[in-house]
Amino acid sequence: MVLADMKQDEVRSFIDDRTIALLPVGATEVHGDHLPLCTDVFLAEGVTRKVAERLGQDRALVLPSVNYGQVWSLGLTTGTVDIPDDVLVPYLVAIATSMHRSGIRTLAFINAHVGNNAAIKSAMRRCLDLCDLKTYSFTYPGAEEVISKVCVSHRPHKAYFHACEIETSYMLYLAPDKVDMSKAIRQYPDFPDDFDYTPTRWTELFSTAVLGDATLATAEKGRAIIDSVVDNIVHLLTKGE
């Protein structure tokens, strides 16, 4: 069920101890010339929708999305919005604790933007301390295993990739009408040796926000990874039952 559309009587009778609230957390951040600025919102919402379907209409409660996230590395690019961690954390905590007040006992942050992870981690710990709310943070859990099987481009960096074969494939599967593959490029910047150890704006390294090879993206690759991610999330949320 989608909270945004529910009526007061519906939400009252819907929530019980088994309800799992799903909060899509995205960002507004440039993703090259072929993907939209809210790529991470569309992906978080897409994964959330699929998880909700699997959990079932009587159990999953999809919350309105958080459309703005923490974006430092690309924070100075035109169109990008950056919510600093010390602003984002209490915002997430306010949403989650309001849900707890509504009777929710389990809430999962379905996150599509790596930059949000530190804020979500802090928020989860604070929720536990404040009201013993059980929270989860899922940023494509288990994706790497499938990526290594279905993706063919080499990775631009040990940890980072962006608007590339992987993310573009996600979009081609989850929101294909928002992708313009004719603008897809490959870009492998030279990272300075100290890139992992000193704060570096990505805009010092490249101007179009693609990190990897977007031209190799396909909906099939996206489907393979995302479906597995959804499996993993559903498994983790329900395994003890």
Binding region for its own copies (CB under 8 A) out of 46-54, 135-143, 145-153, 213-221: 135-143
Task: Write down the least CB distance from residue 160 to its own copies, Å.
Answer: 14
Sequence-ordered alpha helix ranges (H) in the chain: 8-14, 39-55, 85-101, 117-131, 143-150, 165-174, 219-238
Q: At what angle do helices 219-238 and 39-55 cross, to 10 degrees?
A: 50
Enumerate residues 6+ apart whose C-beta is below 8 A from 152. 165, 216
Task: Write down the least CB distance from residue 227 to its own copies, Å.
Answer: 18
Single out the residue of 82, 165, 167, 213 in contact with its own copies (rule: CB under 8 A): 82
Single out the residue of 54, 59, 75, 205 in contact with its own copies (rule: CB under 8 A): 75
**C-beta of residue 233 within 8 angstroms of C-beta of residue 181:** no
Instruction: Give the C-alpha separation, 171 to 28, whole Å.
Output: 15
187 touching its own copies, by CB under 8 A: no
Task: Write down the least CB distance from residue 70 to its own copies, Å.
Answer: 10
44 touching its own copies, by CB under 8 A: no
Secondary structure (3-state) at 41: helix
The amino acid that residue 89 corresponds to is V
194 touching its own copies, by CB under 8 A: yes
Enumerate residues 6+ apart whose C-beta is below 8 A from 76. 201, 203
Task: Write down the least CB distance from residue 92 to its own copies, Å.
Answer: 10
Q: Choose between 17 and 79: whose C-beta lies nearer to its own copies.
A: 79
Single out the residue of 54, 59, 105, 137 in contact with its own copies (rule: CB under 8 A): 137
Q: Choose between 17 and 152: whose C-beta lies nearer to its own copies.
A: 17
130 touching its own copies, by CB under 8 A: no
